[in-house]
Amino acid sequence: MLRQIQNQFGGSIKKRSGVNAIRWRLHSKPGMLELVKAVNGNIRHSTRLVQFNRICCLLNVEVILPKRLTIDESFNNA
């Protein structure tokens, strides 16, 4: 999955030393703008939304708040 993300947005994938984990890093501004546009409006976790808002302010992108989910919508999208 990380390879697909890397192919679309760029960045680098490296194994973390000492732990069983992989890190994806993105440093290019065009790739970051593309990523922000792709996830804008889909972040629901309050802490992540605050972090995303900070990134959007740095990149001069307007934050789209997520639409409230209903039971009907969650079953229709499954």
| pLDDT score recorded for residue 74 | 59
Residue 44 falls inside a structural domain: yes
Residue 46 inside a domain? The answer is: yes
CA–CA separation, 78 and 36 (whole Å): 24
> Cα angle vertex 69, ends 65, 73, to 5°?
130
Residues in the chain predicted with pLDDT less than 50, given as ranges, are none
Domain enclosing residue 16, as ranges: 2-67
Q: How many CA atoms lie within 13 A of 5 on its CB side?
A: 14
* 53 belongs to a structural domain: yes
* Residue at 73 is within a domain: no
* Domain assignment present for 78: no
> Does some domain include residue 74?
no
The count of structural domains within the chain is 1
Predicted TM-score (pTM) of the model is 0.77
Per-residue confidence (pLDDT) for residue 8, from 0 to 100: 93
pLDDT of residue 69: 80
DSSP 3-state of 12: strand
pLDDT of residue 78: 55
